[in-house]
Amino acid sequence: MRRIVVGIAVVAVAAELAARITLPAAVVAPESWDAPARDGWCGSVRWQTDADGQRADATARVAAAHANPLVIVGGEFTAAPGLRLEERYPEQLAARARAGGIDAVVALASRQPLALLDEVLTRAPGAAGGPRVIVVELDPAASRGDAARFSVADQLPPLPDPPAGWSRAWDALGRWRRRGERDAAEAEVAALVRHDGWTARATAGMRARLDVVGAAVRSPTIAGEPHALLQALIAELHGLSRTRTRIAATRDFAARCERLRDEQRVLVALVTGPTLPTLGLAQAARDAGHAVIHAPAFEFDPQLRVAAPRSRPAAAVHAMVARSLWATLTRRGLLTGAAAAPADVLAEADAIEQRFESRGGLDEALLTLARAQIASVAPLAGAVLPLAVLHGIDPGGRLVAGRAAELVMRRPPGATELVVRGEAPAGTRPRLRLRSLAGESIDARDEAARVLDGSSARAGHERLEWIFPPPVTRGAHDYPGIELLLAPERAAAASDPPLAAWLHEVALVGPPPGESTGERR
């Protein structure tokens, strides 16, 4: 018995020593996928990055002398936290690309993939001063947007690693058990795709979300997830700050696309995640003659996701993206003969794109519901603010000096004034600055308050009105995003409380019959 106990102890000590020598102890959170010089565990997957935060020694490989490289520039989907290297789409594409004469496939990932693209064009030498073939992942981060605001939430229970204990060998055993659970979940997704295909469930998810939002719009009040989604759509479509950011990102990417076309390079734009934030980027690629493909719609289909260690696209999604790229490179004449994609892969890639096009009607219906919440008059005095008030105004209409408020208005035909009415402490008469977008530049106007007749609802306050020219819009009927900023008429003492006004409404109006704008002023 003693020998047995001693033998078990010796084996345990040997296992612990081996684990400490060969296995890292660090745990890398999925959110830290771009952290440099990491060697640890992301879930049950070994996670190693170089000094630039890239997997698979990509920084060194992209600068190496390749005669005909294919360089992939992407975001979180390309980095693939939670996936093994061989499960990612770049590695799955590599063998097929090499068979067609592409001697290296290198994947770089960044939270700002379009900025990284500029570095790639100078750092990767290739045969003619840079890589001839480039794949760029267009995710919401590429347009400086937020994917979480537009995805269908899933309720997958996470499969995180247990916290690290004193024994590295025991931790390794726990990871081995979790690896089995993770692999079973991946196999389940792969079997589901083989049986049902890729396309129907995403459409069903979008239709179900549209039904929920439609029911919320018909109810007396819109709250919860429908409220958040509709407000996100309004901000994405017409919000001042978001529109400026999106226009700048699209303009810069369009210039890159034209440069690559002029240099006779092949660009493939891979759209991942919610498509609304990246519509302009994808169109810029098409306008320059480049190919645009879409990943399976994992943002609308929770069954295409695995929660290991957190909810993420399954390895099967990466396999399909690799096949879609294979099909695109074949159609572009880069992979021919035995290296070309077979007919079934071409048909599968076509089905993904056709289903994406067919979902456009559901997207348009959702956008119509969002725009229906935008009015030419925004009442602000109530406890519940209109959906088109994006931020900066407290319930009841309180606007604090120095804090910008953003809202979206509907401009009716013939609008001649933008009128803001409210109240402020008597004698303060703060100025109000209005900022709106005129083309790609900001139009800013300051106006002094005009005192209105009648008593204020608040003691010690007076009723005020500010009148501005209407914001410039692309057409007679549009949805301008505006920003309001309150400024004191005179400098306040350090001991004074922050100045605040209580706004009653913002309205885009025309002059009453028989009265001109000049007469009102």
| pLDDT tier at 517, thresholds 50, 70, 90 | very low
The contacts found for 189-198 with CB under 8 angstroms, 24 or more apart, are: 189/303, 189/304, 189/305, 189/306, 189/314, 189/315, 189/316, 190/314, 190/315, 190/316, 190/319, 192/303, 193/304, 193/316, 193/320, 197/351, 198/296, 198/304, 198/320, 198/348, 198/351, 198/352, 198/355
Top-tier CATH class for 377-520: mainly beta
- What pLDDT score was predicted for residue 511? 61
- Mean pLDDT check: name the lowest of 121-130, 334-343, 449-458: 121-130
- What pLDDT score was predicted for residue 3? 73
pLDDT exceeds cutoff 50 at 431: yes
| pLDDT tier at 126, thresholds 50, 70, 90 | very low
The encoded tokens of residue 95 equal 């063998």
- What pLDDT score was predicted for residue 128? 47
Residue that has been written with the tokens 């996928």 in this structure: 33
Mean pLDDT of all residues in the chain? 85
Helix (H) or strand (E) segment spanning residue 331: helix 315-331
115 compared with 421, residue with greater pLDDT: 421
6 compared with 177, residue with greater pLDDT: 177
- What pLDDT score was predicted for residue 58? 84
CB contact at 8 A, 317 and 296: yes
- What pLDDT score was predicted for residue 65? 63
- What pLDDT score was predicted for residue 496? 65
- Rounded Cα distance, 26 and 129, in Å: 40
pLDDT exceeds cutoff 80 at 445: yes
- Rounded mean pLDDT of 312-326? 96
CB contact at 8 A, 439 and 411: no
305 forms beta bridges with 313
- Rounded mean pLDDT of 278-297? 95
- The per-residue pLDDT for range 28-76, each reduced to its tens digit, is 888 999 999 998 888 888 899 999 999 988 878 777 767 788 999 999 9
pLDDT exceeds cutoff 60 at 242: yes
- Show the beta-strand stretches assigned E in 198-274: 266-271
| pLDDT tier at 520, thresholds 50, 70, 90 | very low
Q: What angle do CA 514, 518, 520 make, to 5 degrees?
A: 70
- The per-residue pLDDT for range 196-240, each reduced to its tens digit, is 877 677 788 888 888 989 999 999 889 888 899 999 999 999 999
- Rounded Cα distance, 438 and 483, in Å: 13
Amino acid at 227: H
Is the N-terminal amide bond of 412 cis, ω within 30° of 0? no
pLDDT exceeds cutoff 60 at 277: yes
Nearest to 246 by CA among 255, 237, 257, 259: 237
- What pLDDT score was predicted for residue 427? 87
The encoded tokens of residue 171 equal 């931790």
CB contact at 8 A, 307 and 298: no
Percent of the chain with pLDDT over 70: 84
Q: What angle do CA 426, 432, 437 make, to 5 degrees?
A: 165
CB contact at 8 A, 67 and 103: yes
Q: Is 86 exposed, middle or buried (0-12, 13-18, 19+ CB in 10 A)?
A: exposed
| pLDDT tier at 376, thresholds 50, 70, 90 | very high
From residue 138, how far is each of 41, 279, 294, 470, 519 by CA, in Å?
A: 27, 9, 9, 35, 52
324 compared with 19, residue with greater pLDDT: 324
- What pLDDT score was predicted for residue 381? 92
| pLDDT tier at 406, thresholds 50, 70, 90 | very high
- What pLDDT score was predicted for residue 255? 94
- What pLDDT score was predicted for residue 202? 79
Kindly report whether the global pTM for this prediction surpasses the value 0.85.
yes
Nearest to 265 by CA among 69, 96, 60: 69
pLDDT exceeds cutoff 50 at 476: no
Domain boundaries, the chain: 30-365, 377-520
- What pLDDT score was predicted for residue 392? 95
pLDDT exceeds cutoff 60 at 489: yes
- Rounded mean pLDDT of 133-158? 77
From residue 365, how far is each of 307, 420, 429 by CA, in Å?
A: 31, 32, 44
Q: How far from the centroid of its chain's Cα atoms is residue 316's Cα?
A: 22
Percent of the chain with pLDDT over 90: 51
Around 75, how many Cα atoms within 13 Å sit in the side-chain half-sphere?
A: 22
pLDDT exceeds cutoff 60 at 127: no
Strands 481-487 and 450-451: unpaired
| pLDDT tier at 13, thresholds 50, 70, 90 | low
The encoded tokens of residue 264 equal 């006779």
Dihedral sign, Cα of residue 396, residue 402, residue 408, residue 414: positive
Amino acid at 228: A
Helix (H) or strand (E) segment spanning residue 312: strand 311-313
